[in-house]
Amino acid sequence: MGKAIQRNAGIWIILAALSVFLITGIFAFVRYLDREAAKENRVEYDEVVEKIPEEEPEESEFVMEAKAQAPAEPVLSKEEEMAQRIDGIIAGMTDEEKAAQLFFVTPEQLTRVGAAVEAGETTRRMLNEYPVGGIIYSARNMKDPAQAKKLLSDTQAIMRERSGFPVFMGIDEEGGRVVRIADNAAFGVSNPGSSKSLAESGASAYGAGSYIGGYLKRFGFNLDFAPVADVLTDPSNTVIGERSYGSDAAKVSQMAGDFARGLGDAGIISVYKHFPGHGGVTADTHTGVAVSQKTLEELTADELVPFADAAAAGADMIMVSFVAYPKVTSENTPAALSHLITTGILRNRLGYDGVVITDALNMGAVTGTYTSGDAAILALQAGCDMLLMPGDFDAAYSAVLEGIRTGTLTKERIEESLQRILKLKLEKTEE
């Protein structure tokens, strides 16, 4: 009996242990299934979340109001963008580059060759050293259309690579007896005739300017030293003579303006010359001193009329002569070297703020009295922006560079000129 009871108790203990083991296993299996289901649900959840785009938090009314009241980003006008670009160019220029930009020279003054007909390594080397503001070409540089185009194109490419902006490429092509291309049969262009012939025949000065400008543009020029705006008040004057549109100041002004407009419409910068007037003297400033005894009142009535109108019309460039006006200045200083004439009358009285260039500084009216260095300094101090063909380019350049470094030529005076030069280049020569 006792043994039976013990046997039964053992069986129950074994059954109880098996039950506990079985129940524990079942619970473990259920937990495993729950974990696997949770994992699967989590993956599906993550995939759904990834597909839902994030939404920007809504801005409060305060934030939205503040944004609405905030000043808009300033939009610069073309003029302001241009001013910023010019300021940046000047800020990055060395003293040497600033000095060079004030000069308008012949290719021979750069290359030191007899007649420059191509732009090769010598031109590149010299322009890298002296990145001048302008180059003036003559008949000896022009052989035929293909050669001329290549000469000018290569030179312009060198200068753009060197400085990042164009160089003035100019020529004297007035029509009549002052032409450098039209009298060369190889170019196949006609001479439209002198200013006098246009005025007397009633032909269009605009047409003449447009025609000349058209072929100059094709060959690669961007500037013409024309029109002649001198009023011929002394009929015995042969230096100007038929280059003038006549003795009627109003007619001269109109025809010079028409010629300049024709050039401009063809893409060529015009240069009115020779302020304040070269038509009232018989002496030739190419060979020596020329003196006018006219008063300011007399000049205002005649000679200044075309230049006053040019200034009012925003002329590209005005050339100042070397005629002396002692009854205006109380001295015999050539006009381009006179502060009273260049700044006092042209800038202040006539209100002209474009580029002012000297007549050729290698002329007798200058070289007979002044060194190249002194003439360059005086012209810039007088208010001129560019120095045309100094007698000795090296001496003139060295003097200007020294003047910039020592303050003889103030930073304000030089940068004033650079502003005008670069503005004209960027507005009228960039394509």
Residue 277 sits in a domain whose CATH number is 3.20.20.300
Q: Say what the pLDDT of residue 77 is.
A: 87
Q: Which domain holds residue 332?
A: 78-428
pLDDT digits (tens, 9 = 90+) for 352-396: 999 999 999 999 999 999 999 999 999 999 999 999 999 999 999
Domain membership of residue 72 (yes or no) is no
Count of domains observed in the chain: 1
Closest CA to 398 of 418, 367, 376: 376
Residue of 230, 258, 359, 385 marked catalytic: 359
What mean pLDDT is predicted for residues 100-109? 98
Q: Say what the pLDDT of residue 52 is.
A: 47
Sequential DSSP letters for 59-119: PPHHHHHHHHHSPPPPPPPHHHHHHHHHHHHHHT--HHHHHHHTEEE-HHHHH--SS----
Peptide bond into 235 cis (omega under 30): no
Percent of the chain past pLDDT 90, that is, above it, reads 79
Rounded to two decimals, the pTM is 0.83
Structure tokens given for 191: 């001479």
Contact status, residue 221 vs residue 268, Cβ threshold 8 Å: yes
Q: Say what the pLDDT of residue 5 is.
A: 46
Distance CA 181, CA 221 (A): 12
Q: Say what the pLDDT of residue 396 is.
A: 98
Contact status, residue 108 vs residue 114, Cβ threshold 8 Å: yes
3-class SS of residue 185: helix
Distance CA 240, CA 231 (A): 9
Catalytic, 286? Answer yes
List the beta bridge partners of residue 228. 273
Domain membership of residue 4 (yes or no) is no
Contact status, residue 380 vs residue 417, Cβ threshold 8 Å: yes
Domain membership of residue 38 (yes or no) is no
Contact status, residue 141 vs residue 151, Cβ threshold 8 Å: yes
* pLDDT category of residue 263 using cuts at 50, 70 and 90: very high
Burial readout 336-350 (b: 16 or more C-beta within 10 A, e: otherwise): bbbebbbbbbbbeeb
Residue 291 above 70 pLDDT? yes
Residue 21 above 60 pLDDT? no
Percent of the chain past pLDDT 70, that is, above it, reads 83
Q: Kindly state the helix (H) or strand (E) to which residue 158 belongs, with its residue range.
A: helix 145-163
Domain membership of residue 205 (yes or no) is yes
Domain membership of residue 218 (yes or no) is yes
Distance CA 376, CA 74 (A): 42
Catalytic, 359? Answer yes
pLDDT digits (tens, 9 = 90+) for 315-339: 999 999 999 999 999 999 999 999 9
3-class SS of residue 269: strand
Domain membership of residue 272 (yes or no) is yes
Closest CA to 85 of 316, 425, 317: 425
Distance CA 385, CA 396 (A): 14
Domain membership of residue 173 (yes or no) is yes
What mean pLDDT is predicted for residues 424-428? 95
- Rounded to 10 degrees, the C-alpha dihedral 371/375/377/378 comes to 130
Residue 58 above 80 pLDDT? no
Q: Say what the pLDDT of residue 30 is.
A: 45
Domain membership of residue 303 (yes or no) is yes
Q: Say what the pLDDT of residue 49 is.
A: 43
Residue 168 burial (C-beta neighbours within 10 Å; 0-12, 13-18, 19+): buried
Measured at the alpha carbon of residue 216, what is the angle toward residues 212 and 218, in degrees to the nearest 5?
120
Residue of 95, 154, 234, 286 marked catalytic: 286
Q: Read off the amino acid at residue 348.
A: N
